[in-house]
Amino acid sequence: MAADLVFYGFALLTVLAGCFVVFSRNVVHAGFALMFTLLGVAGLYAMLGADFLAVTQTVVYIGGILILVLFAVMMTRVPSQNAPRRGLDRMVPAGIFAVAIFALLYKVATGTSWPTATPGEALPTAKLIGVKLMTDAIFPFEFASLVLLVAMIGAAILIRERKVLPAEAPAEEAATEAPADEPEVTA
Amino acid sequence: MTVGLPHFLTIGAALFALGIFAMMTRRNAVALLMGVELILNGANVNFVAFARYVDGGVDGHLMAAFVIVLAAAEAAVGLAIVLAMFRNFGTVHVDTVNRLKR
Amino acid sequence: MLNVETLNLPNWADARAFVPELVMFGAFLAALLGDIIAKRRPWVPFAIVLFGAVTALSYAVAGLDIQAPAKILGDMVVVDGMSSFFRMLFALTAVVTVLFSWKSEEIMGPGREHKGEFYALIALMTGGMMVMAESTDLIMLYLSMELVSLTSYVMAGWMRGSLRSTEASLKYMIFGAMSSGIMLFGLSLIFGLTGSMTFEGIRAALSAGTVDPLALLTVTVLVLAGLGYKIAMVPFHFWAPDVYEGSPTPVAAFFSVGPKAAGFALMIRFFYTTLQPVVDQFDWPLMIAVLSVITMTVGNLSAVRQTNVKRILAYSSIAHVGYLLMAFLMLTEQGLQAILFYLFVYTLMNLGAFLFVTAVNNSLKSEHLADYAGLGFRSPWASVMMMIFLFSLTGVPPFAGFIGKFYLFAEVMRREWYWLAIVGVLNSVVSLYYYMKIARALYFDKAPEGAGAVPVPALQIFAMALLAVPTLLLGVMWGPLKGVADRAVAVIAGL
């Protein structure tokens, strides 16, 4: 019974914070709400016996990805300009669509006869995952390092300061659709 | 009713639907990326729940761990693109970015 | 204590079947290092990647004749007939793209940055696409797709100062992240339905028990969203014209064939080897038929209205996805053979058409149809080859595109989907209109007064000829390639 209460606590935290992420007009608030969603999900992982993942979620997701997102929010804020109010014309169809998706998935989740087995006692998973990563799953493990490498290189390429002078800048803009109003920005 | 697989799947579905909703209504590029994180977390909850109730092994955990790694990579590239956009356009509002013909 | 004897450790025997991929990944790392060591000498990474791609291509061609599928690297990837076929295709694409980019202003022009990294990323993406065609595990499916996606977001935004390039990269990234998330959710449900991560396990579980049709349909739709985005299938195609227009043209050329073929490879492997036993539980053929009709019609009708050649080709490549989907209806062996054959031919002709745009763009600085007036006399060699590609894309004999389309339509007729075949033929007629619009601009419109010749470097002519000659040859001698495609489909793992 106590476990159920804990579940509902985490579930409520996850979903309510998720709603806040979606509906809040302030992006900074949305970012902080995302932290609570991720924390709630980490709690759910812990309840499901995924100790390693719960820690990973907290350390990598909240400690890494979320900080990155918040940095981006701070770096791209234009103080003078308030976020434009979102029109109902977009909210209503999107809301209907999202509710329909949720209804469908809820029906799938509750109506399907999943091939369940009675869950055994939750054992520490870190060792199992570690062994698996070094044996069966060594290829995806190495492959993921390539993905991280390309993410690193890509991010560096995309946002490193430009050294090129505007005079040398590519001419393809001018040739096709002279952007008189917005000249190329060189940082 | 004791908490079981459908409960966790419902949370996953809710996160997924919220993420889709965010992707459809949000116009701030960073907020769109937050929507992506919601979708990925929804899928991850499913993977871990299935690993507990269906599979019994750590395959689902492994997948979830890889998803977290890829979410980090995607966030790095995505935010770099958003910053490049901010540098070039002076805004992160995706509706103002329409130099390409429809 | 762990017993090392019982562990499934990686071994060198596996690496032998995996040479083209290792060569491409090695070329990626070597090109990165070479770029750092040989500062400001972009020919070093260029040469490394070109050498790597040619090596991979020769290994891929040598490895075409496969008797039995080999599961390697902890059963995460499989080397079978189909993956060998796609290896060859991707290595060829890489060779041509690398050769071509060397003289492309958008990549190598004065003031451009990161010339070395460009070649490195081409190598990485090629390796990633090869792995995509080989994945037999949900983990590898997702990882390889994301590797290719992340690399393409970066390459779309390559021209950082350019607003159009940044926009292309942003749109690609937003749509891509969303659709891969949707697909991941579908994968999570299929893991729950079958309790297995491997395609083989999924197939076994699906064919053994009765699976809830609603859940199965949901999974199919969700996974189709992710794969449909990769192959630019309507309604997941919105990004394609903008991304192709905004990206540097050699990159757009690469996107229009490489990741698309890789998406098809993954789609074939996923649906053919997992869902085939349960296809009759819901209306899969009708679903694919409708998607195919919408895709080709939207692609063709939108292409008619365009005046930018890159956008015309972008919409036409969407239409070609529609033709390819026609043969995907019944998930039969003949259908897959037709798809593989057409994908090869499509790669030749579509890459060629895009490369023409790149070549002309170097000195013309325009992609608009109006500026193409009289190009047939201003750059004769390139234009003649462009005509070959255009005729082949339309599907008129005696070009390779005709043979490819013939096999696709033959499969549709064999399954007695006559209305689909009629729609396909009507669509081909529409496509004739806009392809010939380009041809008319090249040869019948008068060049403006004082317009000089548009020189195309010899290297680019050579790269285009690498595509044009097979396009011509396959139009009259398609037997060998058809044989390769047939054998590739005969040896697919997990059946």
- Please indicate, yes or no, whether residues A68 and A129 belong to a single structural domain of this protein: no
Mutate to test the interface with B, among A35, A67, A105, A128 (most CBs of B within 10 A): A105
Domain spanning B5-89, CATH class: mainly alpha
Q: In this model, does residue A83 exceed pLDDT 70? A: no
> CB-CB: which of A108, A129, A182 is closest to B58?
A129
Contacts of C187 in chain B (CB under 8 A): 43
| CB spacing of A179 vs C163 below 8 angstroms | yes
Q: In this model, does residue A185 exceed pLDDT 70? A: no
The amino acid sitting at A11 is: A
d(CA B55, CA A48) in angstroms, rounded, equals: 13
Three-state DSSP at C77 gives strand
Domain at A61, CATH number = 1.20.120.1200
| CB spacing of A37 vs B38 below 8 angstroms | yes
pLDDT score, position B93: 82
pLDDT score, position A120: 74
d(CA C447, CA C444) in angstroms, rounded, equals: 9
Over the stretch C168-200, which tens digit does the pLDDT of each residue have?
Answer: 999 999 999 999 999 999 999 999 988 888 888
Residue A179 domain flag = no
- Please indicate, yes or no, whether residues A4 and A64 belong to a single structural domain of this protein: yes
Does B15 touch chain C if contact means CB atoms closer than 8 Å?
no
DSSP run (H or E) holding C79 = strand C77-79
| Max mean pLDDT range (A96-100, A116-120, C271-275) | A96-100
Count of alpha carbons within 13 angstroms of residue C355, beta-carbon side: 37
- Please indicate, yes or no, whether residues A59 and A130 belong to a single structural domain of this protein: no
Residues 6+ apart with CB under 8 A from A14: A36, A37, A40, A41, A43, A44, B11, B14, B15
pLDDT score, position A2: 81
CB neighbours of residue C12 within 10 Å: 6
User: Which of the two residues, A117 and C286, has the higher pLDDT score?
Assistant: C286
Cα angle A58-C175-C106, degrees, rounded to a multiple of 5: 110
List chains touching B (3+ CB pairs under 8 A).
Answer: A, C
- The answer to whether A53 and A62 have CB atoms below 8 angstroms apart is no
Q: What's the mean per-residue pLDDT of chain B?
A: 88
DSSP run (H or E) holding C188 = helix C163-194
CA distance A61 to chain C (A): 16
Mutate to test the interface with C, among A131, A142, A146, A173 (most CBs of C within 10 A): A146
Categorize the per-residue pLDDT at A177 as very low, low, confident or very high, splitting at 50, 70 and 90: very low
Contacts of A175 in chain C (CB under 8 A): 365-366
Residue A53 domain flag = yes
Cross-strand pairs, C317: none
pLDDT score, position A27: 87
| CB spacing of B5 vs A31 below 8 angstroms | no
| Six-digit token string for B100 | 């390409």
Q: In this model, does residue C281 exceed pLDDT 70? A: yes
pLDDT score, position A80: 47
| CB spacing of A104 vs C218 below 8 angstroms | yes
Categorize the per-residue pLDDT at C491 as very low, low, confident or very high, splitting at 50, 70 and 90: confident
Three-state DSSP at C198 gives strand
Q: In this model, does residue C340 exceed pLDDT 90? A: yes
d(CA C209, CA C194) in angstroms, rounded, equals: 9
Over the stretch B54-99, which tens digit does the pLDDT of each residue have?
Answer: 877 888 999 999 999 999 999 999 999 999 888 888 888 887 777 7
DSSP string, C210-276: ---HHHHHHHHHHHHHHHHHHHT-TTS-THHHHHHHHS-HHHHHHHHHHHHHHHHHHHIIIIIIIIG
Contacts of B77 in chain A (CB under 8 A): 151, 154-155, 158
Nearest Cα residue to B57 out of C152, A49, C449, C427: A49
d(CA C465, CA C382) in angstroms, rounded, equals: 9
A102: left (phi over 0), alpha (psi -120 to 50) or beta: alpha
Handedness of CA A120, A122, A127, A133 (dihedral sign): positive
How are the residues of chain B apportioned to helix, strand and coil, as percentages rounded to the nearest 5? 80, 0, 20
DSSP run (H or E) holding C70 = strand C70-72
- The answer to whether C326 and C424 have CB atoms below 8 angstroms apart is yes
Cα angle C381-C385-C389, degrees, rounded to a multiple of 5: 165
User: Which of the two residues, C58 and B100, has the higher pLDDT score?
Assistant: C58
Contacts of B78 in chain C (CB under 8 A): 153, 173, 177
Contacts of A115 in chain C (CB under 8 A): 193-195, 205, 209
Q: Give percent of chain C with pLDDT exceeding 90.
A: 43
Q: What's the mean per-residue pLDDT of chain C?
A: 88
| CB spacing of C170 vs B43 below 8 angstroms | no
DSSP string, C404-447: HHHHHHHHHHHTT-HHHHHHHHHHHHHHHHHHHHHHHHHHTSPP
| CB spacing of A60 vs B9 below 8 angstroms | no
pLDDT score, position A49: 87
Does C235 touch chain A if contact means CB atoms closer than 8 Å?
no
| CB spacing of A94 vs B79 below 8 angstroms | no
- The answer to whether B51 and B61 have CB atoms below 8 angstroms apart is yes
Q: Read off the pTM.
A: 0.92
Q: How many CB pairs under 8 A join B and C?
A: 118
Mutate to test the interface with A, among C25, C150, C188, C211 (most CBs of A within 10 A): C150
User: Which of the two residues, C160 and C312, has the higher pLDDT score?
Assistant: C312
Residue A104 domain flag = no
- Please indicate, yes or no, whether residues A69 and A3 belong to a single structural domain of this protein: yes
Residues 6+ apart with CB under 8 A from C188: B12, B43, B44, B46, B47, B50
Q: In this model, does residue A186 exceed pLDDT 50? A: no
- The answer to whether C90 and C59 have CB atoms below 8 angstroms apart is no
User: Which of the two residues, C477 and C492, has the higher pLDDT score?
Assistant: C477
Does C13 touch chain A if contact means CB atoms closer than 8 Å?
no
Nearest Cα residue to A106 out of C31, C152, C421, C215: C215
pLDDT score, position A25: 83
Does C36 touch chain A if contact means CB atoms closer than 8 Å?
no
Residue A24 domain flag = yes
pLDDT score, position C285: 86
> What number is the ipTM of this complex?
0.95
| Six-digit token string for A121 | 């006692």
- Please indicate, yes or no, whether residues A70 and A137 belong to a single structural domain of this protein: no
Terminal-residue alpha carbon distance, chain C: 37
Q: What range does the domain containing A65 cover? A: 1-76
Contacts of C367 in chain A (CB under 8 A): 176
Mutate to test the interface with B, among C142, C173, C193 (most CBs of B within 10 A): C173
- The answer to whether C376 and C358 have CB atoms below 8 angstroms apart is no
Nearest Cα residue to C176 out of C225, C133, C248, C128: C225
Instruction: Tell me how many domains chain A contains.
Output: 2
| CB spacing of A148 vs B54 below 8 angstroms | no
Over the stretch C347-400, which tens digit does the pLDDT of each residue have?
Answer: 999 999 999 998 888 888 888 888 888 888 888 888 899 999 999 999 888 899
Shortest CA distance from C182: residue in chain A: A101
Largest interatomic CA distance in chain C: 84
CA distance C405 to chain A (A): 35
- The answer to whether C218 and C186 have CB atoms below 8 angstroms apart is yes
d(CA A67, CA A34) in angstroms, rounded, equals: 11
Mutate to test the interface with A, among C32, C76, C136 (most CBs of A within 10 A): C76
pLDDT score, position A174: 39
Residue A187 domain flag = no
